[in-house]
Homo-oligomer: A and B are copies of this chain.
Amino acid sequence: MRRVAIRFGMLAVALMLLIQLSKYSLLTRGLRDEFLIAFFAVLFVGLGVVLTKLVFKPKTKIIQSIRSEEPKPDLAKIEELGISKREYEVLEQMARGKSNLEIADKLFISESTVKTHVSNLLVKLDAKRRTQAITIAKEIKIII
């Protein structure tokens, strides 16, 4: 990346030197206006490069912003489907591979209640099985 700038600078210098050589002999005179300008040209181009790199350097933030696009559950769609808080909690545990009994223990409710919630979720997500409910929920981004 940086090499490109360096190479360009070196090439510019070499180019201008060739121009000078083609027109005048280096031996006849010392430094001349063209050479001075060329020197400053390269110098300030390099300065511009460094400045730009300093100003536009936050690449990590760009990456972060890209990555932070996904971890957002679509709250609007959750409401749209009429999924309640408790149902959503069950859905989250379900998506983590928990059984009905395990979910019941974690949420301090009976397995019957979990079954009710799961059944409601299947209807609301238009799924036949819990595995399908999970894939659908991830597709419509109501869970991550």
A89 to chain B, nearest CB (A): 16
Within 8 A of B (CB), among A128-144: 128-136
A38: chain B residues at CB < 8 Å are 19
What sequence of 0s and 1s flags, for each residue 9-35 of chain A, a beta carbon within 8 Å of any chain B beta carbon? 001100110110011000000000110
For A95, list chain B residues within 8 Å (CB): 131, 135
On whether A132 and B97 interact (CB within 8 A), knowing A51-B49, A59-B62, the answer reads yes
Residues of B within 8 A of A37 (CB): 18-19, 22, 40
Some 20 contacts from A to B, beta carbons below 8 A apart, are A8-B11, A15-B16, A16-B16, A18-B41, A19-B41, A23-B33, A23-B34, A37-B40, A40-B40, A40-B44, A42-B44, A45-B45, A45-B47, A45-B48, A48-B49, A48-B50, A48-B52, A52-B56, A53-B56, A97-B133
Q: A48-B49, A97-B133 are in contact. List 16 more A-B contacts (CB 8 A).
A: A8-B11, A15-B16, A16-B19, A18-B41, A37-B40, A40-B44, A45-B45, A45-B48, A48-B51, A49-B51, A49-B52, A52-B56, A66-B67, A94-B131, A95-B131, A97-B131
A: which residues have CB within 8 A of B? 1, 4-5, 8, 11-12, 15-16, 18-19, 22-23, 33-34, 37-38, 40-53, 55-56, 59, 62-63, 66-67, 94-99, 127-136
